[in-house]
A and B are shown apart, each in its own frame.
Chain A
Amino acid sequence: DGGITQSPKYLFRKEGQNVTLSCEQNLNHDAMYWYRQDPGQGLRLIYYSQIVNDFQKGDIAEGYSVSREKKESFPLTVTSAQKNPTAFYLCASSISVAGGEQYFGPGTRLTVT
Chain B
Amino acid sequence: SQQGEEDPQALSIQEGENATMNCSYKTSINNLQWYRQNSGRGLVHLILIRSNEREKHSGRLRVTLDTSKKSSSLLITASRAADTASYFCATDAGGAGGTSYGKLTFGQGTILTVHP
Given the interface pairs A99-B31, A99-B100, A107-B40, the reply to whether A42 lies near B108 with Cβ below 8 Å is yes
**Range for the number of chain A residues in contact with chain B:** 20 to 34
Task: Judge whether A52 is part of the interface by a CB distance below 8 angstroms.
Answer: no
Partner-contacting stretch, out of A13-21, A65-73, A75-83, A89-97: A89-97
Beta-carbon contact of A101 and B45 below 8 Å: yes
What total of chain B residues lie within 8 Å of the partner, measured CB to CB?
A: 29
Q: Which residues of A contact B57 (CB under 8 A)?
A: none
Task: Judge whether A105 is part of the interface by a CB distance below 8 angstroms.
Answer: yes
Q: Top 9 nearest A-B pairs by Cβ distance?
A: A99-B100, A42-B106, A104-B42, A97-B102, A101-B45, A43-B106, A104-B43, A42-B108, A106-B42
Binding site for B on A (CB under 8 A): 4, 6, 31, 33, 35, 40-45, 48, 50, 58-59, 88, 90, 92, 94, 96-107, 109
